[in-house]
């Protein structure tokens, strides 16, 4: 900020402090970009056939939710029971 005051005209977009690391070693960027591409490709392949297992997945999630609800309700009511 003071650089703009001293020089009289501030820069609109100052460079990031990490720009040197990006230029020197693009390895992490390539790894993350490659992983994102492969993950997106795998998700695309899965979603292409999603209609085949959509109902099974929905019923599985609903069943897991019912089990969690029943266990929590059972624990809640048994803790309020008086001897």
The residue written with tokens 């020197």 in the block is 24
DSSP-assigned letters across all residues of 13-70 = SPPPTTHHHHHH--HHHHHHHHHHHHHHHHHHHHHHTHHHHHHHHHHHHHHHHHHHHH
Give per-residue pLDDT as tens, 21-76.
555 566 777 888 889 999 999 888 878 877 888 899 899 999 999 999 999 888 76
Q: How far apart, in whole angstroms, are the C-alpha atoms of residue 46 and residue 52?
A: 10
Domain locations along the chain: 1-48, 51-83
pLDDT at 20 exceeding the cut of 90: no
Q: How far apart, in whole angstroms, are the C-alpha atoms of residue 58 and residue 73?
A: 22
Q: What does pTM read for this prediction?
A: 0.39
Looking at residues 1-17, what average pLDDT do you find? 57
Confidence of residue 5 (pLDDT cuts 50, 70, 90): low
């Amino acid at each position: 900020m003071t650089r703009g005051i001293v020089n009289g005209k501030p820069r609109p977009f100052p460079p990031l402090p990490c720009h040197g690391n990006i230029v020197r070693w693009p390895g992490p960027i390539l790894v993350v970009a490659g992983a994102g591409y492969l993950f997106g490709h795998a998700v695309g392949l899965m979603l292409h056939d999603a209609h085949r297992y959509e109902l099974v997945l929905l019923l599985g999630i609903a069943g897991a939710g019912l089990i969690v609800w029943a266990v929590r309700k059972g624990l809640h009511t048994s803790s309020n029971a008086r001897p």
